[in-house]
Amino acid sequence: MNQSLSLASQLSQMRCFLMDMDGTVFLGERLLPGAVELVDYLEQREIPYFFLTNNSSRSKADYAQKLNRLGLTVSEQRIFTSGEATALYLKKRMPSARLFIAGTDSLKEEFRQHGFEIVEERPEAVVLGFDTTLTYNRLWKLCDFVRAGLPYFATHPDINCPTENGFMPDIGAMIAFVQTSTGRQPDVIVGKPNPPIIEAVTAKSGIPLQFTVMIGDRLYTDIALGRTGITTVLVLSGETKAADVAGSPFQPDWIVENLAELYALLSRAQSVSG
């Protein structure tokens, strides 16, 4: 059996598919090849799937609207963000905490929907998200709170976010800024590849990790989830290029060019078995 058929055979045993979005399903305002076909394949076979993104600058409602606008018909229930995972994580541990959030209005609303009070002064904990509205004064305020010793959480660790025209600095760059100023790293980083987000999505799907596959474009987040026991597929449509793989400590189980190649493999395997 060749490598392509081996991949298709293994994926045919999976009972839940997790897909990254930025660089995997779309780039900017462009849907990437194979996204529609793969989702249709999963829908027709009633295989559970979720779009699992570290990008916390948008809510699941925002993402559902964007995917629908780009031509991919999905509901909010298929979206799981690091922002939602962080809110769920804190709800179990600090359910009534007053929070200072360095994040977009969408992220703040996510936390409000989980019952948190969002404040600018005298918070009990601080949350750093991918804040595309960040100002120097708010970053300064965040550093003051972190330096004062308040519990400090970050939604995810991504250094850059892929776009159609290159990369934009992501939360990892902000974490480095805060660390340089305060000497502190976040107490907990929730998003991929850390346990809190995969524990949350597994609780949502009800499917064990050994029957779950993560498809994404970033080695140190998507593919690093492999250490949890999940199967990983790297797509080369976003941040990672083929030459980057050999030197990485995070090795994918499989590599494909994009979702179109993955869909083609699954379709061929289905026709052979059928």
Any catalytic annotation for residue 22? yes
Per the annotation, does 131 bind a ligand? Answer: no
DSSP class per residue in 198-248: HHHHHHHH---GGGEEEEES-TTTTGGGGGGT-EEEEESSSS--HHHHTT-
187 is catalytic: no
CA separation, residue 64 to residues 68, 73, 149 (Å): 6, 8, 37
Going by C-alpha positions, the residue among 200, 143, 199 that lies closest to residue 176 is 143
State the DSSP H helix or E strand holding residue 50, giving kind and residue range, or none if neither: strand 49-53
On whether 20 is known to bind a ligand per the annotation, the reply is yes
Instruction: Give 259's contacts (C-beta < 8 A, 6+ positions apart).
Output: 19, 24, 25, 32, 33, 34, 35, 37, 38, 215, 235, 237
Residue 222 is assigned to a ligand binding site: no
The answer to whether the bond into 208 is cis (omega within 30° of 0) is no
217 is in an annotated binding site: yes
Task: Decide: 63 and 53 in contact? Cβ < 8 Å.
Answer: yes
Summarize the annotated binding site for Mg(2+) as residue ranges.
20, 22, 217
Q: Which residues make up each annotated binding site for substrate?
A: 192
Active site residues: 20, 22
Give the annotated binding-site residues. 20, 22, 192, 217
